[in-house]
Amino acid sequence: MARIIPPRVTSHPSWKALKEHHREMASTHLRELFSGDPGRAARMRAEGAGILLDYSKNRITDRTLDLLLELAESCRLSDHIRNMFGGQHINKTENRAVLHVALRLPRSARLVVDGVDVVREVHEVLDRMESFSRKIRDGSWKGATGRPIKNIVNIGIGGSDLGPVMAYEALRFYADRSRVFRFVSNIDGTDFAEATRDLDPEETLFIVSSKTFTTLETMTNAHTARRWLLESLKKEESIRHHFVAVSTNSQAVSSFGIDTANMFGFWDWVGGRYSMDSAIGLSTMIAIGPENFRKMLEGFHAMDEHFRTAPFAKNLPVLMGLLTVWYTNFFGSQTVAVLPYDQYLKRFPAYLQQLTMESNGKHVHLDGSPVDTDTGPIFWGEPGTNGQHSFYQLIHQGTRLIPIDFIGFARSHNPIGEHHDILMANLLAQGEALAFGKTADEVRAAGVPELQVPHRTFEGNRPSNTLLARELTPAVLGSLVALYEHSVFTSGIIWGIDSFDQWGVELGKVMAVRIIDEIAGKSPEGGPHDSGTAQLLDWYRKNRKK
């Protein structure tokens, strides 16, 4: 029977209309859009789950929005949202449900998926995490020699690292300052060596976080941690006092020597990059305490509810996901810059890189046919104002169009003098300067010599979203992460791709394993490599320390 191929997004009438409309918008300046329309900012804002989105500084009109919303309808976004929340197997290539939203459902909810009430299971694990975290925090969990745990080292990579590190940094204000938290991810031995150099094994707990418990980097680091511990504590028996695991693979956890009583589970319906609010967040819970962790889950859930129920025209993730499509596919933008004006969010752009790029970096549709549009853009960023003194030059005056998400807060956890007002003034100034620029006439009028005029002219018309919240609390962090999760989902639905698999990471992994064997002399020298790789491998073998 012939396969039924769903219509390509590019064949939808709204896509064609957007293409037409873009011709007009390409030459329309934000100056015109604002000057002729005093109600623009009031119209182009939306609020949900404690976050305000001002999207008025985008190169859009009401017509653009209507067409984008029409596009969402024609791609049946509502049905797809319903399917995700309902536990359908929307991750087609792995035949799995995608249910990170179930990780933050309240205890009273019920969601039966494949015959199992997942909410009950989620809360069982949360309760076990809570009781374990309390024991670490009150000192009743002892190391093998009877000393309480002072240092917590999370070993994991990708989603089993980036979420925990980002959340620890973001919520550091709430963290138990009497404890040391470290994160080891890189296979580079330097990561482990530097993370443990000043730690006393008797007071150290390792959380080995790995969904599969097979990831090369994590397992290598976990075995190194085991040796590091046993060098001091000698007895195998001490392992169970100093190692716990977060995984879906109890067999592998047990063969590593970790008591499965000290294993915190999660499920195949939680993708690695969507797992910071599962047991993968154990280090976060120990750091900020179970109450704060639960507040973070409430923030996630509030944004889930907003996404599920708010009309698309007022729906933050939908609007942001559609704007990403607008710039990526109609303006040809290649990247999105995420610029948090908050030092605590310094790892947020790195976290978003996995979330957005592992999800939407895809080249085929769900049915396997090649995409006929660009898909996920490159996400990058740094906290303001540091970025201002480094790469903002290119955003202001370079030749590329880089849509921006500014993120800021009304209140600082560290209100020192005028710092916070200066910080926020910079955020506001950048959005304004990028949008409106400075014309050559304005530059001349300021007395600038003619030679410099072109260099000091700012074209403007650089788009941005501004996301504001009252304070960076656990709940607000949860809402912010869920906002990006669902905006990635929205764009993925428009592109018709599977945002929940990540086959693209496999090939390199397999090839690395082969080369590891060649370096170790376990497989024939100079295997079937291209001449460039063979030459590099040869150089490495000759020069490496034996």
Residues that bind ligand F6P (CB under 6 A): 157-160, 210-212, 215, 218, 272-273, 358, 502, 505
Which residue, 450 or 506, is less far from ligand F6P as judged by CB?
506
Which residue, 185 or 333, is less far from ligand F6P as judged by CB?
185
509-544 burial code (b ≥16 CB/10 A, e <16): eeeeeebeebeeeeeeeeeebeeeeeeebeeeeeee
Vertex 302: Cα angle to 87 and 85 (nearest 5): 10
**Cβ 81 to ligand F6P, closest distance in Å?**
23
Q: Is 123 a catalytic residue?
A: no
Cα-based distances in Å from 51 to 135, 294, 302: 34, 19, 10
Q: What DSSP element (H or E) covers 263? A: strand 263-265
**Cβ 246 to ligand F6P, closest distance in Å?**
9
Which residue, 300 or 351, is less far from ligand F6P as judged by CB?
351
Which residue, 26 or 216, is less far from ligand F6P as judged by CB?
216
Which residue, 202 or 498, is less far from ligand F6P as judged by CB?
498
State whether the Cα torsion 426-432-436-439 is positive or negative. Answer: negative
Residue 40 and residue 121: Cα distance in Å, rounded? 47
Q: Which of 389, 455, 522, 545 is catalytic?
A: 389
Residue 324 and residue 488: Cα distance in Å, rounded? 9
Q: Which two tokens stand for residue 369?
A: 């046919």
Q: Is 509 a catalytic residue?
A: yes
**Cβ 290 to ligand F6P, closest distance in Å?**
23
**Running DSSP on this structure, what letter comes out for residue 386?**
G
Taking the C-alpha atoms of 193, 171, 167 and 49 in order, what is their torsion angle to the nearest 10 degrees? 180
Determine contact, residues 325/68, Cβ cutoff 8 Å. Answer: yes
Q: Is 518 a catalytic residue?
A: no
Which residue, 148 or 158, is less far from ligand F6P as judged by CB?
158
Is the peptide bond between 385 and the residue preceding it cis, with omega within 30 degrees of 0? yes
Vertex 30: Cα angle to 331 and 15 (nearest 5): 35
Q: Which residue minimizes CB distance to ligand F6P?
A: 272
Alpha helices in 89-215 (DSSP H): 118-138, 162-170, 189-196
**Cβ 324 to ligand F6P, closest distance in Å?**
21
**Cβ 277 to ligand F6P, closest distance in Å?**
14
Determine contact, residues 153/182, Cβ cutoff 8 Å. Answer: yes
Q: Which of 223, 234, 419, 509 is catalytic?
A: 509
DSSP string of 318-366, one letter each residue: HHHHHHHHIIIIIS---EEEEEES-GGGTTHHHHHHIIIIIHH--SB-T
Which residue, 157 or 286, is less far from ligand F6P as judged by CB?
157
Which residue, 163 or 384, is less far from ligand F6P as judged by CB?
163
Which residue, 267 or 409, is less far from ligand F6P as judged by CB?
267
Q: Which of 358, 396, 420, 485 is catalytic?
A: 358
> What length does the chain have?
546
Contacts of 305 (CB under 8 A, 6+ apart): 49
**Cβ 157 to ligand F6P, closest distance in Å?**
5
**Cβ 379 to ligand F6P, closest distance in Å?**
16
**Cβ 212 to ligand F6P, closest distance in Å?**
3
Q: Quick one: which of 311, 268, 269, 282 has its CA closest to 206?
A: 282
Residue 51 and residue 470: Cα distance in Å, rounded? 8
**Cβ 502 to ligand F6P, closest distance in Å?**
5
Residue 117, CB half-sphere, CA atoms under 13 Å: how many?
A: 9
Phi, psi of 186 (to 5 degrees): -70, 145
| Residues taking part in catalysis | 358, 389, 509
